[in-house]
């Protein structure tokens, strides 16, 4: 008998091993978890072939998760460097990895990554189809696309980004409502090319039932990609983006009917004043499905600092409905990130995620902050370092400027307000 998907198990009232792992990590009860997985508002990406997975859940009432993108490209094809990034992501407590490789032995790298990662792993099969077959995009067949999806599923990929909502109607709306930056999603642009050259509808929409069968077979979570996400503030919340979002909502319900878990991807570049609106639209149109956002970046003018523009938008987005943040590094829009870029991006995304969890009132989230505040009141430097989101950086800053009085820091010295007020108010 076929093992049920996480969603099917939840609908039958069965608590899976993956659900037990989630219950050990999250402030949620068993009955709530079963109900929300059954309804689709929590997803547990857990491919049956990812045997060393430590399951994490994404969605309503849970901590905000963080994803890291990595992978080799034509100009930077160093698999060992990317494996070092996998280890760094583990060290920095990332929740998920996405392999976006586009050249070389993509399957060999993907298998190594999955074998090394207890984190959930995602991919974009359309990228790999281009790398695997070496054909012009327009000459890739429908079977070629689906063969790659099956290979990724067999390898143990937990969630796959598929841009099934990029329809011909949405493309026509895009033509009638010109954008400043057109289509910035790599997967979206590849399917746009395929659809144009073949004068056909999106193959993943036409053959959506076939896609759902594959996902159900391996219990792959479908991450419905936003091929028309805005790549500039000018293009945010426009007709093409909303057209695609409406279709993604319909595809979400269809997937749930097949007991396939879904996440929905979102923007992109969004002015700060439109971030909350975008979250409300997605949750409404996609029936509360977990929402996965890239940023969003709240300004276009900060190349080299887009981990900051992303963290600003990510904190606001997650506080108002986003469940999963894709990190952005300082190298965004400029080059493939190195290890230093990656660390800056992960820390920025984790800060945004935690700030959002505090804002949402997630049980236990603010306790971490209270512990740090107690350590500061006590001028307990070692405890502060232990609690810091980046202990190494905190220690390095402290060591770089040593005070004469080791209890205080070089900012205030003898005028330390914390020490003075503690002595007065606590009678010391």
293 with 340, same domain: the answer is yes
Domain boundary among 344, 360, 376: 360
Q: Is the pLDDT of residue 77 over 80?
A: no
Identify whether 164 is part of a domain.
yes
110 with 160, same domain: the answer is yes
337 with 396, same domain: the answer is no
Task: Report the domain count for the chain.
Answer: 2
CATH code, domain with 343: 3.20.20.540
Task: Give me the mean pLDDT over the 89-116 stretch.
Answer: 94
Domain boundary among 360, 381, 401: 360
Q: Is the pLDDT of residue 75 over 80?
A: no
Identify whether 207 is part of a domain.
yes
Identify whether 210 is part of a domain.
yes
294 with 317, same domain: the answer is yes
189 with 136, same domain: the answer is yes
> Cα(161)–Cα(123) distance, rounded to whole angstroms?
6
| Predicted confidence band of residue 72 (pLDDT cuts 50, 70, 90) | confident
343 with 406, same domain: the answer is no
Average pLDDT of the chain, as a whole number: 95
Task: Give me the mean pLDDT over the 268-274 stretch.
Answer: 97
Residue 2 burial class via C-beta count within 10 angstroms: exposed 0-12, middle 13-18, buried 19 and up: exposed
HSE-CB for 134 with a 13 A CA cutoff: 5
412 with 345, same domain: the answer is no
Residue 158's pLDDT is what?
Answer: 98
Identify whether 228 is part of a domain.
yes
A 10 A CB-CB count for 426 gives 8
Task: Give me the mean pLDDT over the 151-162 stretch.
Answer: 98
The domain of 149 spans: 61-360
Task: Note the maximum CA span of the chain.
Answer: 80
> Cα(292)–Cα(269) distance, rounded to whole angstroms?
14
The predicted-structure confidence for 13-58, as pLDDT tens digits, reads as follows: 999 999 999 999 999 999 999 999 999 999 999 999 999 999 999 9
| Predicted confidence band of residue 264 (pLDDT cuts 50, 70, 90) | very high
242 with 381, same domain: the answer is no
Residue 78's pLDDT is what?
Answer: 82
Q: Is the pLDDT of residue 199 over 90?
A: yes
pTM attached to this predicted model: 0.95
Identify whether 17 is part of a domain.
no
Please tell me whether residue 327 adopts helix, strand or coil conformation. Answer: coil
User: Which residues fall in the annotated binding site for substrate?
Assistant: 69, 98, 127, 163, 185-187, 226-229, 265, 292
The predicted-structure confidence for 357-409, as pLDDT tens digits, reads as follows: 999 999 999 999 999 999 999 999 999 999 999 999 999 999 999 998 999 99
289 with 380, same domain: the answer is no
User: Which residues fall in the annotated binding site for [4Fe-4S] cluster?
Assistant: 409, 412, 416
Residue 428 vs residues 116, 409, 422: alpha-carbon distances, Å: 53, 20, 7
Contact 132, 27 (CB under 8 A): no
Q: Is the pLDDT of residue 1 over 60?
A: no
Residue 345's pLDDT is what?
Answer: 98
334 with 388, same domain: the answer is no
Contact 141, 121 (CB under 8 A): no
| Predicted confidence band of residue 134 (pLDDT cuts 50, 70, 90) | confident
> Cα(170)–Cα(161) distance, rounded to whole angstroms?
18
Q: Is the pLDDT of residue 104 over 90?
A: no
Identify whether 281 is part of a domain.
yes
The rounded percent of the chain whose pLDDT value lies above 70 is 100
Domain boundary among 360, 379, 398: 360
The predicted-structure confidence for 236-256, as pLDDT tens digits, reads as follows: 999 999 999 999 999 999 999
| Predicted confidence band of residue 102 (pLDDT cuts 50, 70, 90) | confident
Q: What is the dihedral of CA 381, 382, 388, 392, to 10 degrees?
A: 110
Identify whether 158 is part of a domain.
yes
User: Which residues fall in the annotated binding site for Zn(2+)?
Assistant: 269, 333
Identify whether 413 is part of a domain.
yes
Residue 131's pLDDT is what?
Answer: 87
Which residues of 112-158 form beta strands (DSSP E)?
120-123
Residue 226's pLDDT is what?
Answer: 96
228 with 120, same domain: the answer is yes
> Cα(94)–Cα(88) distance, rounded to whole angstroms?
9
Q: Is the pLDDT of residue 261 over 80?
A: yes
Lowest pLDDT segment from 60-74, 222-236, 264-278, 295-309: 60-74
Q: What is the DSSP letter of 27?
A: S
Task: Give me the mean pLDDT over the 190-203 stretch.
Answer: 97
| Predicted confidence band of residue 267 (pLDDT cuts 50, 70, 90) | very high
The predicted-structure confidence for 276-330, as pLDDT tens digits, reads as follows: 999 999 999 999 999 999 999 999 999 999 999 999 999 999 999 999 999 999 9
165 with 300, same domain: the answer is yes
Contacts of 10 (CB under 8 A, 6+ apart): 19, 33, 34, 35, 37, 38
User: Which residues fall in the annotated binding site?
Assistant: 69, 98, 127, 163, 185-187, 226-229, 265, 269, 292, 333, 409, 412, 416
Q: Is the pLDDT of residue 427 over 70?
A: yes
Lowest pLDDT segment from 69-83, 231-245, 325-339: 69-83
Alpha carbon 225 to its chain's center: 12
> Cα(235)–Cα(185) distance, rounded to whole angstroms?
13
């Amino acid at each position: 008998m076929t093992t049920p998907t996480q969603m099917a198990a939840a609908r039958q009232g069965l608590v899976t091993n993956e659900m037990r792992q989630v219950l050990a990590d999250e402030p949620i009860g068993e009955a709530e978890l079963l109900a929300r997985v059954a309804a689709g508002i929590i997803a547990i990406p857990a491919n049956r072939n990812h045997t060393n997975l430590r399951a994490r859940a994404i969605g309503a009432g849970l901590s905000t998760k963080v994803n890291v993108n990595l992978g080799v490209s034509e100009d930077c094809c160093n698999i060992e460097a990317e494996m070092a990034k996998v280890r760094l992501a583990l060290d920095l407590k990332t929740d998920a990895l996405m392999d976006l490789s586009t050249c070389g032995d993509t399957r060999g790298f993907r298998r190594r990554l999955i074998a090394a990662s207890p984190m959930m792993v995602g991919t974009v099969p359309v990228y790999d189809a281009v790398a695997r077959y070496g054909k012009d995009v327009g000459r890739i067949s429908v079977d070629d696309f689906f063969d790659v999806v099956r290979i990724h599923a067999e390898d143990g990929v937990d969630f796959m980004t598929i841009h099934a909502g990029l329809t011909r109607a949405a493309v026509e709306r895009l033509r009638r409502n010109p954008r400043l930056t057109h289509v910035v999603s790599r997967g979206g642009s590849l399917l746009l090319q395929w659809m144009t050259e073949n004068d056909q509808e999106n193959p993943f929409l036409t053959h959506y039932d076939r896609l759902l069968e594959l996902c159900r077979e391996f219990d792959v979570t479908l991450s419905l990609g936003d091929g028309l996400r805005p790549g500039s503030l000018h293009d945010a919340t426009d007709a093409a983006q909303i057209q695609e979002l409406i279709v993604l909502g319909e595809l979400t319900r269809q997937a749930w009917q097949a007991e396939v878990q879904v996440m929905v991807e979102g923007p992109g570049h969004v002015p700060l004043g439109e971030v909350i609106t975008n979250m409300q639209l997605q949750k409404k149109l996609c029936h509360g499905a977990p929402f996965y956002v890239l940023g969003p970046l709240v300004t276009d003018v900060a190349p080299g600092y887009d981990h900051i523009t992303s963290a600003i938008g990510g904190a606001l987005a997650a506080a108002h409905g986003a469940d999963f943040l894709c990190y952005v590094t300082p190298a965004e829009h400029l080059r493939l990130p190195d290890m230093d870029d990656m660390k800056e991006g992960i820390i920025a995304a984790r800060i945004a995620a935690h700030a959002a969890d505090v804002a949402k009132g997630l049980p236990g989230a603010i306790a971490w902050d209270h512990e740090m505040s107690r350590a500061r009141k006590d001028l307990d430097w070692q405890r502060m370092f232990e609690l810091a989101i980046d202990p190494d950086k905190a220690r390095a800053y402290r060591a770089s400027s040593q005070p004469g009085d080791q209890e205080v820091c070089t900012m205030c010295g003898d005028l330390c307000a914390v020490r003075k007020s503690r002595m007065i108010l606590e009678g010391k």
